[in-house]
Structure 1
């Protein structure tokens, strides 16, 4: 009896593995196989057909040798997949054309390539890339912005560091698109675009979302230890420099705006335990609330309501004083 159960379990696990890898391989070939759309479709359909035939014979005859053609094809696919490298040069969209880099000399951080665009109501902009300096001893706050673009489940994650001199330095991890390129969570799970780490002013990167795109942006003031906040900021700089030297693929599941920040936090020993809300990041505030990272004198519903800043940003406008205006009434920790 036990032997029969174990055999059935083995057959089921192999069947699930065949089905899962067939689906992944067919999708990978449909997006990234060399050649025209027709050639990509043929590669994808061929791999899917091989997987379907393998699954049929495995379930019918349960002989390991029936798996061999798919195993050989899968090894070849994985070898080819590993050779796909992200481009270091491209006809990048102007808003992601530069990868910020930085130097830390004692307590002074100097960043080259801080984005400070002047956004117009129609979505056009005046480019402005700046070199800025920050005194790390004057780091006084860490704030989380979530910009909801696909319902309550998914949001774009922006972390902003505030300094005593009134500067706010916002970090956003984004897809580095080509000119006229778009964002597709599905395509970007299959080595479609590189990743770029942006450092920007809040009037640029937050104002774009509140006032131009008119997304639902929510602000949460974090309970952050200054030493840990400084380490995290320095980790942003290290990762930015590394990315400028060796580009990496963006992946909407494993290497996105939230997961990269968690990787940085692990590097400094402050990573929270894994939770499903790290992936479905629209619910990160609830997770942060449970961990005590937010002001628990208010309910999470109250924090969301008080932290909804899009109407404030639109009423004030993208101009000096924007950062202070959007924080009015948002509870600090």
Structure 2
């Protein structure tokens, strides 16, 4: 009965005030001053093993004009590869400096003791969070500590389109910081939000089909619609995008984002 009451309560309205898992305890925000933006609460969880991590956050200042590209990231679910988590990573390249990368990811904002489930995700049982993260958090943690396959594709977006998408995503970040929403497995998830951002930047650029609802297949959709760079066939492109062999060699000394893109 206690669990049922909790479920009924959660279905009424989303909230910012729950007993969140540590990695979801803080939400990011973005403060704009012309082209300059300060992003608060960029997450960097340092993993010790698959379940143990030390959560950290930092603030980052960037000039939106230095965003040069955006990458598409796919992480299939091990047991059901037709399902996956998707996110994007923005390349920020100030003149004469090594490019930096920031991940933006729409996720379930899980409470302590809570696990994701697609059925629960359609029953207003999870809040939606946008996470802005360091790639060492969002990518390295999955490949080297959780043994998940990760694919990194360079999109075909121009620098101007990548900049507009970043600004649009930061507006969404700020909106969720003040107006919480429920996550929904079919209509308000990681992939549907990316599609919405793309289509706001380029109206009707990406059409909806079943591969949006089965995001483990969304890289093929992106390939077919020319949203990611092609390197031969789709199978060849996907093989080149596979990150795990590269992250397995990472020595922890060089810049991670540069290392995995060699």
Query: Shared fold by TM > 0.5?
Result: yes
Instruction: Report if aligned partners of 2:28, 2:174 keep a CA contact under 8 Å in 1.
Output: yes
Larger strand proportion of the pair: 2
Q: Within 1, Cα distance between the matches of 2:184 and 2:66? A: 34
Instruction: Report if aligned partners of 2:16, 2:180 keep a CA contact under 8 Å in 1.
Output: yes
Q: TM-score scaled by structure 1?
A: 0.72
Of the candidates 81, 88, 110, which is equivalent to residue 159 of structure 1? 88
Q: TM-score scaled by structure 2?
A: 0.90
Q: Within 2, Cα distance between the matches of 1:265 and 1:38? A: 38
Q: Within 2, Cα distance between the matches of 1:280 and 1:287? A: 10
Q: Within 2, Cα distance between the matches of 1:227 and 1:312? A: 30
Of the candidates 254, 277, 286, which is equivalent to residue 211 of structure 2? 277
CA offsets, 1:144-178, max 9 Å, x none?
Answer: 11011143311110100011142101011111111
Structure (1 or 2) with the larger CA radius of gyration? 1
Aligned positions of 1:206-217 closer than 5 A? 206-217=139-150
TM-aligned CA distance change 1:189 to 1:320, over 3 Å? farther
TM-aligned CA distance change 1:320 to 1:133, over 3 Å? farther
Query: How far apart are 1:81 and its partner, in Å?
Result: 9.8
Query: How far apart are 1:137 and its partner, in Å?
Result: 1.2
Q: Within 1, Cα distance between the matches of 2:132 and 2:260? A: 19
Query: How far apart are 1:229 and its partner, in Å?
Result: 1.1
Residue 40 of structure 2 aligns with which residue?
A: 112
Structure possessing the higher relative contact order (Cα contacts under 8 Å, 6 or more residues apart): 2
CA-atom RMSD, angstroms? 2.1
Of the candidates 35, 52, 64, which is equivalent to residue 124 of structure 1? 52
CA offsets, 1:168-215, max 9 Å, x none?
Answer: 010111111111211111111101110100000101111111111110
Gaps of 5+ in 1: 1-34, 41-79, 329-333
The alignment status of 1:205 with 2:138, answered yes or no, reads yes
CA offsets, 1:27-57, max 9 Å, x none?
Answer: xxxxxxxx446889xxxxxxxxxxxxxxxxx
Of the candidates 176, 179, 182, which is equivalent to residue 246 of structure 1? 179
CA offsets, 1:195-250, max 9 Å, x none?
Answer: 10000010111111111111011111111121111111011111111101010001
Gaps of 5+ in 2: none
Figure out how many residues of one structure are paired with residues of the other and give that number: 255
TM-aligned CA distance change 1:317 to 1:179, over 3 Å? farther
Of the candidates 199, 210, 218, which is equivalent to residue 151 of structure 2? 218
The alignment status of 1:183 with 2:116, answered yes or no, reads yes
Query: How far apart are 1:259 and its partner, in Å?
Result: 0.5
Q: Secondary structure at the match of 2:102?
A: strand
Q: Secondary structure at the match of 1:315?
A: coil
Residue 292 of structure 1 aligns with which residue?
A: 226
Query: How far apart are 1:129 and its partner, in Å?
Result: 0.6
Of the candidates 227, 240, 249, which is equivalent to residue 315 of structure 1? 249
The alignment status of 1:97 with 2:97, answered yes or no, reads no
Larger helix proportion of the pair: 1
Q: Within 2, Cα distance between the matches of 1:199 and 1:259? A: 17
